[in-house]
Amino acid sequence: MNKLFISEDFKVPELLETDRFRLRMLTINDVVKDYDAVMSSIEHLQKTQPFGPDHIWPTKDLTFQQDLIDLGWHQKEFQRRTSFAYTVMSIDEKECLGCLYIYPSSNTQFDAEIVLWVRQSEVQSGLDEHLFEIVKQWMKQKWPFTKPGYPGREIDWETWKSLK
């Protein structure tokens, strides 16, 4: 039997809210706002490579339906507790500002792989750095991980891959 990513008795946090954003489970109901955030940020996301240099997501030919399928996949994994995808929403829920993903680590030196991104229009506001700091605190305070990894942020992707 595979080792559980998190224990069955762990209560997964449903919400994290600051004066700048609301973090909650990403669902298929977010597809319109998520698709807008992704498609308006293609150049930024390809440049920053939040999922690593070998990952080409997103591309300009990503369809609305493909995004819906991705969100459904993330929602099901959240429900099954095999990974956790959160949407970063404006406080009024009118705009998707980015996403946070918590995966089982592909690297044996870490117990979770944390990846996040913000939409291109939020880069100048400093939201990326703010979100990252808040997420690191949240991981320490509310999640059971002893060694979360932040590839592409606290450890470069090349080193992350070499430590497997």
Q: What share of the chain is helix, strand, coil (3-state, %, to 5)?
A: 35, 20, 45
* Residue 101 covered by a domain: yes
**DSSP letter string, 22-33:** EEEE--GGGHHH
* Residue 94 covered by a domain: yes
* Residue 153 covered by a domain: yes
Give the amino acid at 160: W
Q: How confident is the model at residue 52 (pLDDT cuts 50, 70, 90)?
A: confident
Name 89's bridge partners: 22, 96
pLDDT above 90 covers what percent of the chain? 80
* Residue 90 covered by a domain: yes
Segments forming the whole domain that contains residue 42: 15-162
Across the beta sheet with 15-17, what order do the strands follow?
Answer: 15-17, 22-25, 84-89, 96-103, 112-118, 148-149
Domain count for the chain, please give it: 1
pLDDT at site 56: 80
Give the amino acid at 157: W
pLDDT at site 49: 80
Q: What is the CATH number of the domain that holds 110?
A: 3.40.630.30
* Residue 8 covered by a domain: no
* Residue 3 covered by a domain: no
pLDDT at site 2: 52
For residues 80-95, average pLDDT: 97
pLDDT per residue as tens digits for the range 151-163: 999 999 889 888 8
Reference 73, options 28, 115, 8; nearest CA is 28
Q: Which residues contact 103 (CB under 8 A, 6 or more apart)?
A: 83, 112, 113, 114, 115
Provide the mean pLDDT of the chain: 93
Q: How confident is the model at residue 46 (pLDDT cuts 50, 70, 90)?
A: confident
* Residue 5 covered by a domain: no
* Residue 10 covered by a domain: no
CB atoms closer than 10 angstroms to residue 67: 21
pLDDT value at 1 more than 80: no
pLDDT value at 21 more than 90: yes
For residues 56-61, average pLDDT: 88
pLDDT value at 129 more than 90: yes
For residues 10-21, average pLDDT: 96
d(CA 71, CA 3): 25
pLDDT at site 61: 95
